[in-house]
């Protein structure tokens, strides 16, 4: 079979060892950790921004979109091409340059999240966002999705830890937005790049803020006889003015699955457990821990376990972060959403989720970033049973509508991608979506970057507002000399 022209041009631009296009490669890279499969024409592995720019120029010549991919741990199809595309895998862009004096680092998008914190640990610093997939997921993916993790309760999501972004635009030009000094002049383009899911440009380097490793940490595991007690503890801790480092909840089906998998000594007779962590100054965390323990007991915690040492703490966190692996023991497939609700509404929302699961005769397992109100209800099912798939999707849809009805949102940290794209009109009106589409058009008028993700088709609506005099492209070409 003749090598397609596109692949030949990519090989000419990057070298044969940086391009894969065998049928098996294309199939393997056509999916992330979610449920949607796309269509890939070539998989590229550039080593730097110049290589990325070369791929983008080839893609432009061929009129084909590009989609960025890190480790493929995304759950929303953000790295899955809706239409045939060239994949740019960032794994070879994995340099770390630390500036210890400023507590920052320039990091390649292919650096694995946990590797960054390990790299900076000797300096007493770490990268605060800690998604459960942190042993595999990349910084580029974290930035693209504005990822969270248990510790973003107190530390904020990825966007709070990104100072500058280098990216390649649709013309193959390398742009840097943001910088090491606070509040760079001009519009906050950096802030918009974070969480843009690869739709505004291709990120090739990120300047991240590193946080001090807290001098003291206390990790506690509470066992509750009912879910409401755990949820009420979360609400009361926040209402009492304590923002712990993390406040995570798991329910009985999940506790049992995880315990069977990790053997962390979790209370399998509990209806729910709460994993709470306080971190900071040794004198400060003692008082916070006391308050959380008292609150938990008041809401019926029948067992409180305080991690005695770092090994026990790590084991408890391993249990929390092994939810996905543990679920595989129960059924071949799972489907989850990532909605967020006001934290004061957790109890009622959880009760309703159980009612939905009962109505559809499904098993639901819950891990919850409870302090943030961020739900991850997982329906387990067998994809080979057609009726199960239908019931799972309908039940998941009900959870989304429930979350939005109490003032919540579609996604807290996983992104919109392809999976939740068509749910966006449940959250935003036509004028709001049009505004987002206009912003996207300002970055990527050719729709080169991940065009299927985030916004449903038809979001750009020319009925709203006014058009500028002269087309946008005229303005740009008139100005492009000033930008170099």
Partner 1 sequence: MTALSSTVARLFGRFVAEVEGAPRAQFTFAPTTAEEAAAILDFASEHRMSVVPWGGGTHQIGAPHEPDVVVSTRALGGVDWRPDDLTVVVGAGVTVADLEAKLGERGQTAVLPENAGAATVGGVVAAGVSGWRRLRFGPTRDRLLEVVVATGDGRVIRAGGQVVKNVSGYDLPRLFTGSLGSLGIITRVCLKLWPQGAAAATVVVADPERALAVAHRPQAVLQTASEVSVYLAGTAAEVEAQAAALDGRATEGLHWPERPRGAVEIVVRVPPAMVTEAVALIASANFVAAHGVGEVIAAGPVSEETVAAWRTWAEAEAGSVVVTRAPAGFAIDPWGAPPPALVLQRRIKAAFDPLGVMVPGRLPGGL
Q: Give, as ranges, the residues between 347 and 376 that touch partner 1 (CB under 8 A).
A: 369, 372-374
Q: Does 135 bind partner 1 (CB under 8 A)?
A: no
Angle subtended at Cα 142 by Cα 139 and Cα 145, rounded to the nearest 5 degrees? 150
Task: Give residues 167-196 in contact with partner 1 (rule: CB under 8 A).
Answer: 169, 175-177, 179-189, 191-192, 194-196
Select from 424, 448, 452, 453 the one that contacts partner 1 (CB under 8 A).
424
| Contacting partner 1 within 220-249 (CB under 8 A) | 235, 238-239, 241-243
Task: Provide the minimum distance between the beta carbon of 282 and partner 1 in the complex, in angstroms, as a whole number.
Answer: 7
Minimum distance between the CB of residue 392 and partner 1, rounded to whole angstroms? 22
Nearest distance, CB of residue 391 and partner 1, angstroms? 25
Given its phi and psi angles, is residue 114 left (phi above 0), alpha (psi -120 to 50 degrees) or beta?
A: alpha
Question: Binding string, 34-73, against partner 1, x = CB under 8 A?
Answer: ----------------------------------------
Contact between 99 and 89 (Cβ < 8 Å): no
Query: Which lies closer to partner 1 via its Cβ, residue 243 or residue 306?
Result: 243
Positions 82 through 111 that interact with partner 1 (CB under 8 A): 99, 101-104
Which lies closer to partner 1 via its Cβ, residue 29 or residue 443? Answer: 443
Q: Minimal distance in Å, beta carbon 472 to partner 1?
A: 6
Helices (H), 265-369: 282-298, 310-321, 323-327, 346-359
* The one among 123, 294, 315, 435 contacting partner 1 by CB under 8 A: 435
| Tokens (6 digits) for 390 | 């239908």
* Rg, C-alpha atoms of the chain: 23
DSSP H or E run through 335:
strand 333-336
Nearer to partner 1, 130 or 372 (CB): 372
Binding part of the chain for partner 1, among 49-57, 60-68, 260-268, 336-344 by CB under 8 A, reads 336-344
Minimum distance of partner 1 from residue 72's CB (angstroms): 18
CA atoms within 13 A on the CB side of 425: 8
**Which of 281, 298, 318, 390 is the binder for partner 1 (CB under 8 A)?**
281
Map residue 169 onto helix, strand or coil. coil
When asked if residue 217 is in the footprint of partner 1 (CB under 8 A), the reply is no
Dist CA 303 CA 319 (whole Å): 17
Tell which residue, 160, 94, 380, has the closest CA to residue 253.
380
Number of H helices, E strands in the chain: 17, 18
Q: Check binding of 410 to partner 1 (CB under 8 A).
A: yes
Helix runs in 121-219, H state only:
139-145, 152-155, 189-193
142 binds partner 1 (CB under 8 A): no
Q: Which of 106, 302, 354, 428 binds partner 1 (CB under 8 A)?
A: 428
Between the alpha carbon of residue 290 and those of residues 152, 276, 298, 306, 445, the distances in Å are 22, 12, 12, 11, 55
- Write the DSSP string, 69-136: ESSS--SSSTTS-SSSEEEEE-TT---EEEETTTTEEEE-TTSBHHHHHHHHGGGTEE-----TTTTT
How far apart (Å, rounded) are the C-alpha atoms in residues 259 and 323?
A: 10
- Write down the least CB distance from residue 195 to partner 1, Å: 5
- Could you say whether residue 141 binds partner 1 (CB under 8 A)? no
Q: Identify which of residues 386 and 481 has a Cβ nearer to partner 1 in the complex.
A: 481
Residues 453-482 that bind partner 1 (CB under 8 A): 454-455, 464-469, 472, 475-476, 479-480, 482
416 binds partner 1 (CB under 8 A): yes
Instruction: State the Cα–Cα distance between residues 408 and 348, nearest whole angstrom.
Output: 13
> Using CB under 8 A, which residues numbered 285 to 314 contact partner 1?
286-288
């Amino acid at each position: 079979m003749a090598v397609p022209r596109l692949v030949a041009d990519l090989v000419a631009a990057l070298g044969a060892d940086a391009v894969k296009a065998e049928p098996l490669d294309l199939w393997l890279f056509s999916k992330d950790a979610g449920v949607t499969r796309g269509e890939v024409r070539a998989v590229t592995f550039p080593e730097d921004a110049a290589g990325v720019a070369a791929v983008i120029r080839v893609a432009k010549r061929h009129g084909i979109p590009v989609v960025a991919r890190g480790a493929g741990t995304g759950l929303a199809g953000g790295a899955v091409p809706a239409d045939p595309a060239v994949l740019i895998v960032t794994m070879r862009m994995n340099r770390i340059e630390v500036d210890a004096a400023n507590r920052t680092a320039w990091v390649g998008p292919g650096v694995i999240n946990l590797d960054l914190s390990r790299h900076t640990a000797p300096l007493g610093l770490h990268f605060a966002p800690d998604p459960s997939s942190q042993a595999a997921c990349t910084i580029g993916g974290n930035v693209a999705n504005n990822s969270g993790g248990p510790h973003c309760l107190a530390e904020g999501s990825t966007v709070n830890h990104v100072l500058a972004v280098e990216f390649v635009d649709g013309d193959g030009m390398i742009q840097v937005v943001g910088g090491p000094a606070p509040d760079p002049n001009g519009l906050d383009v950096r802030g918009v790049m974070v969480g843009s899911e690869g739709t505004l440009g291709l990120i090739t380097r990120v300047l991240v803020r590193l946080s001090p490793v807290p001098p003291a940490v206390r990790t506690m595991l509470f066992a509750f006889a009912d879910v409401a007690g755990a949820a009420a503890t979360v609400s009361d801790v926040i209402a009492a003015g304590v923002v712990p480092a993390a406040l995570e909840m798991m329910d009985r089906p999940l506790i049992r699955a995880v315990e069977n998998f990790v053997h962390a000594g979790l209370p399998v007779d509990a209806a729910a457990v709460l994993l709470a962590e306080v971190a900071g100054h040794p004198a400060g965390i003692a008082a916070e821990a006391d308050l959380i323990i008292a609150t938990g007991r008041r809401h019926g915690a029948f067992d409180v376990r305080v991690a005695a040492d770092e090994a026990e703490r790590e084991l408890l966190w391993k249990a929390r972060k092994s939810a996905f692996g543990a679920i595989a023991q129960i059924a071949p497939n799972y489907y989850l959403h990532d909605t967020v609700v006001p934290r004061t509404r957790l109890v009622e929302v959880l009760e309703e989720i159980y009612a939905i699961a009962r109505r559809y005769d499904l098993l639901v397992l819950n891990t919850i970033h409870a302090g943030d109100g961020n739900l991850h209800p997982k329906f387990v099912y067998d994809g080979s049973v057609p009726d199960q798939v239908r019931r799972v999707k309908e039940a998941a849809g009900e959870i989304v509508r429930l979350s939005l009805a109490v003032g919540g949102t579609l996604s807290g940290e996983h992104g919109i991608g392809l999976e939740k794209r068509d749910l966006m009109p449940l959250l935003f009106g036509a004028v709001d979506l049009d505004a987002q589409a206009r912003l996207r058009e300002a970055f990527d008028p050719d729709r080169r970057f991940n065009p299927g993700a985030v916004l449903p088709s038809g979001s750009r609506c020319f009925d709203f507002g006014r058009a500028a005099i002269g087309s946008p492209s005229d303005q740009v070409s008139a100005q492009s000399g000033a930008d170099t």
